């Protein structure tokens, strides 16, 4: 359904919309990547698998976006295509209590950073909990937050 940036006083809001929450997560990720690089120049030739968990869908979205930033900064990899699957699991904590967590299993498609090829824009430092939403609203799914630039 699409992606967009939205107005924020000091930083930049990123939003993804989709027919499913997974599609909204994928669009939100692409929206964030577009803040810092021209995604049309990224060749999605190399696949990278990830698995994350969170306490709720919002926390999971922030973890997902921050994982993309971590991979950019530490592994020098950028991605322009995403396939995610959201789910729920039961985990036993250190006290023996069972709690439900939300999970994300995904494949990221991209390549190593090449400064001769990739056109970089504003540096994104982190995804935040500001204006965080990950759920259904008005018969569409939305995933959004503000990223610190």
Give 28's DSSP letter.
H
Segment (H or E) for 45: none
Query: pTM of this prediction?
Result: 0.92
For the segment 49-93, what is each residue's pLDDT rounded down to a tens digit? 999 999 999 999 999 999 999 999 999 999 999 999 999 999 888
The CA-atom distances, in angstroms, between 100 and each of 48, 92, 131 are: 26, 9, 24
Instruction: Supply the CATH classification number for the domain 2-148.
Output: 3.55.10.10
- Residue 5 makes CB contacts below 8 A (sequence gap 6+) with 12, 13, 14, 15, 31, 34, 35
- Hey, where are the domains in the chain? 2-148
Higher pLDDT, 7 or 91: 91
State the number of CA atoms in the 13 A half-sphere of 80 facing the CB.
16
């Amino acid at each position: 359904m699409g992606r967009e940036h939205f107005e924020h006083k000091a930083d930049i809001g990123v939003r993804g919309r989709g027919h499913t929450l997974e599609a909204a997560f994928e669009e939100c990720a692409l929206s964030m990547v577009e803040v810092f690089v021209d995604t049309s120049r990224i060749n999605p030739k190399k696949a990278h698998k990830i698995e994350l968990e969170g306490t709720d869908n919002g926390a999971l979205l922030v973890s997902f976006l921050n994982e993309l930033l971590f991979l950019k900064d530490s592994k020098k990899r950028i991605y322009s295509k995403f396939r995610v699957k959201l789910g729920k699991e039961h985990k036993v904590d250190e006290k023996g209590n069972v709690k439900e967590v939300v999970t994300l299993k995904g494949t990221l498609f991209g390549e190593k950073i090449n400064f001769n090829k990739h056109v970089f824009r504003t540096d994104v430092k982190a995804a935040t909990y500001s204006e965080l939403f990950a759920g259904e609203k008005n018969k569409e799914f939305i995933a959004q937050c503000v990223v610190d630039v």
